């Protein structure tokens, strides 16, 4: 019980530290957006990038502190579902309806932001970031990804099979770099590990 409480305190402090650093970093693009407010194209580009960056941080926080929480109850549904994903890495699917819905929502947000000419572009950036994460996670569990996204694939395999407490970034690895949770070594991924990761896929 004491260890559980101690872990909760440690994780809480780590999250607060991460969030604080994130806000300090994001102040810069917001200040730039305000600085270039008269140039609407630059204004919207900066806001969109900042929105995307915000999603990558949310992705990192959720993956590190929610999916891999050391203080959560072992029967926690979120932790259990993610643990199942680690032990059954190929059981991940993205339906055509899901893809279509995400594309349509992204299109609507971008259309609204272009018409209203305001900070909704930031939300569009977050949504596109989420969509890219959603698809990228699916891509990284397909054999063909080793030809298209070799570095991200190796990074994700490291998280899945070698260092589950590191390499939390999926669509973007920058926050692992910022917070020191990247891979602890640069050892090559063995064929045995790769075979486990892709088990269930019979074709490249």
Give domain status of residue 134, yes or no.
Answer: yes
Mean pLDDT score, 113-127: 87
Give domain status of residue 203, yes or no.
Answer: no
Give domain status of residue 121, yes or no.
Answer: yes
Give domain status of residue 12, yes or no.
Answer: yes
Residue 128 pLDDT exceeds 60: yes
Burial (CB count <10 Å: 0-12, 13-18, 19+), residue 45 = middle
Residue 139 pLDDT exceeds 80: yes
Q: Where are the alpha helices (DSSP H) in 36-144?
A: 40-61, 77-87, 96-116, 120-139
Mean pLDDT score, 193-197: 86
Q: Which domain holds residue 66?
A: 2-197
Name the residue with higher pLDDT: 23 or 114: 23
**Which pLDDT band, with edges at 50, 70 and 90, does 1 fall under?**
low
Give domain status of residue 204, yes or no.
Answer: no
For the chain, what's the residue count? 204
Mean pLDDT score, 134-157: 93
* pLDDT, position 201: 52
Q: Which residues contact 175 (CB under 8 A, 6 or more apart)?
A: 18, 56, 57, 60, 168, 169, 181
Name the residue with higher pLDDT: 133 or 186: 133
**Which pLDDT band, with edges at 50, 70 and 90, does 3 fall under?**
low
- This prediction has a pTM of 0.88
Give domain status of residue 150, yes or no.
Answer: yes
Q: What percent of the chain has pLDDT over 70?
A: 95
CB atoms within 10 A of CB 194: 16
Mean pLDDT score, 142-147: 92
* pLDDT, position 19: 96
Give domain status of residue 185, yes or no.
Answer: yes
Give domain status of residue 202, yes or no.
Answer: no
- What is the rounded distance in angstroms from the CA atom of residue 11 to the CA atom of residue 171? 23
Count of domains in the chain? 1
Residue 202 pLDDT exceeds 50: no
**Which pLDDT band, with edges at 50, 70 and 90, does 38 fall under?**
confident
* pLDDT, position 49: 92
Residue 123 pLDDT exceeds 80: yes
* pLDDT, position 54: 95
């Amino acid at each position: 019980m004491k260890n559980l409480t101690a872990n909760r305190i440690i994780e809480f402090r780590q999250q607060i530290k991460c969030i604080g650093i994130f806000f300090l970093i994001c102040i810069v693009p917001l200040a730039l957006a305000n600085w270039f407010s008269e140039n609407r194209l630059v204004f919207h580009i900066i806001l969109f990038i900042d929105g995307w960056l915000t999603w990558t941080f949310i992705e990192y926080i959720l993956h590190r502190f929610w999916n891999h929480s050391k203080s959560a109850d072992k029967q926690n549904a979120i932790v259990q579902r993610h643990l199942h994903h680690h032990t059954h890495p190929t059981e991940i699917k993205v339906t055509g309806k899901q893809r279509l819905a995400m594309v349509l929502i992204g299109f609507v947000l971008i259309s609204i932001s272009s018409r209203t000419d305001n900070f909704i572009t930031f939300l569009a950036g977050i949504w596109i970031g989420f969509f890219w994460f959603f698809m990228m996670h699916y891509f990284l569990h397909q054999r063909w990804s080793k030809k298209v996204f070799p570095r991200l694939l190796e990074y994700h395999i490291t998280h899945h099979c070698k260092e589950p407490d590191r390499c939390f970034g999926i669509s973007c690895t920058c926050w692992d770099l910022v917070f020191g949770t990247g891979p602890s070594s640069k050892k090559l991924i063995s064929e045995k590990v790769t075979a486990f990761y892709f088990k269930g896929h019979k074709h490249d």
